[in-house]
Chains A and B, each alone.
Chain A
């Protein structure tokens, strides 16, 4: 069964600290993996996309990694800011947009 599992469910860190969010998937065949950020009361916004051949991709203070062999991805946030408080959702695409498999998300809270 195609599944995406994220950990931890929630995380609280102090402003300025780094953190890493995890995403494990059992989706096959694999097309790509995308991370979305969802601020409270807003819709998700795409942060980055990883394809099979990509190991690491950065978007400012966000760095995503992908290990296609172990079917794991991580999202690392460097020097966290209060505006990073949000839910981060991992989504895997088997073949097309229509078959997206969504994780339940990690709720990140940054404390001053």
Chain B
């Protein structure tokens, strides 16, 4: 069974802090994704990576950066956290190809005060 593990379930940070969200997958998937999920909205893609050290912007990359130094690990970085980044953050991984599903972690609920 694919396992995607996010390092924290809950985080509370102050405005202006640098925040790191970590994600690890154990199925050797090429692709990894970071989404945010807000009430009443569909999942919105922040960044994705299709290989080590490769990254592509999603729909809402502003205020975020990512790092993928190893195949199994994909980190999301909030350079200077703001209150509008309070959200649920979901990491996912998948094999390449439209028929393969995304496998999600259980999310990190980030609150920025």
Whether chain B is bound by chain A comes out as yes
Contact (Cβ within 8 A) B98 A93: yes
- Give per-residue flags for A78-97: 1 if the beta carbon is below 8 A from chain B beta carbons, else 0: 00000000000100010111
- Count of residues in B whose CB is under 8 Å from the partner chain: 25
**Provided the pairs A31-B98, A32-B99, A97-B96 are in contact, do residues A104 and B106 lie with their beta carbons within 8 angstroms?**
no
A26-60 contacts to B, CB under 8 A, are: 31-32, 34, 36, 41-46, 49, 51
Tell me the interface secondary structure of chain B in the complex: loop
Contact (Cβ within 8 A) A98 B48: yes
Contact (Cβ within 8 A) A43 B105: yes
Chain B residue numbers with a CB within 8 Å of A104 are 40-42
Tell me how many residue pairs across A and B have CB atoms closer than 8 Å: 59
Chain B residue numbers with a CB within 8 Å of A46 are 101-102
Contact (Cβ within 8 A) A103 B96: no
Chain A nearest CB: distance from B46 CB in Å? 12
Chain A residue numbers with a CB within 8 Å of B60 are none
Chain A nearest CB: distance from B102 CB in Å? 7
Chain A residue numbers with a CB within 8 Å of B42 are 4, 89, 101-105
Contact (Cβ within 8 A) A95 B105: no
Chain A residue numbers with a CB within 8 Å of B43 are 44, 89, 100, 102
Chain A residue numbers with a CB within 8 Å of B106 are 41-43
B6, closest chain A residue (CB)? A43
